[in-house]
Amino acid sequence: MAKTKVQYEYNMHCLSEILYEYLASAEGLSEWFADDVVERGDDFFFSWGGGPAERATLIRYKPESFVRFRWEEDEGTKYFFELSIVIDEITDDLSLNITDFCEDGDEEENRLYWENLIENLQIKLGAA
């Protein structure tokens, strides 16, 4: 089934180096993205509520810039989710840009899901 590409931008009030640690490490991701995250090489295993772990592979990254993961169910496709740090050259404002793919018709649910996650992240960072 085809998925729709969605993109979001969230203003963050923190240092890019600190934010990147929350995006690229199992410890950081377990603070806001999932209940538990285990990293084995390029594979990250995410679990919620004690349920079975879901595997995502780190397929691209650039330190202090972005991470791109692909869920196991999306292997062999162009689908991924990416968390990228963008700093405005003029104002020095920092934002977290998210690229994701969702089922057609689930765009609003996906947006609300990410908004909730980013709110949790902002609280953890003191960046709300």
Among candidate residues 60, 57, 67, 53, the one with its CA nearest the CA of residue 22: 67
- 12: which 2 tokens? 């963050």
Reported confidence tier of residue 12, pLDDT bands at 50, 70, 90: very high
For residue 50, the model assigns a pLDDT of: 87
- Whole-structure pTM value: 0.92
Own/partner pairs, 14-18, CB within 8 angstroms, 24+ separation: 14/94, 14/125, 14/126, 14/127, 15/94, 16/64, 16/85, 16/87, 16/94, 17/64, 18/125
Sheet holding 43-47, edge to edge: 3-12, 94-103, 81-87, 66-71, 54-62, 43-47, 36-40
- What pLDDT, on the 0 to 100 scale, is given for residue 126? 86
Contact between 3 and 104 under an 8 Å Cβ cutoff? The reply is: yes
Judged against a pLDDT cut of 70, whether residue 127 lies above it is answered with no
| Extents of the domains making up the chain | 4-125
Q: What pLDDT band is residue 128 in, cutting at 50, 70 and 90?
A: low
Which class does domain 4-125 fall in? Answer: alpha beta
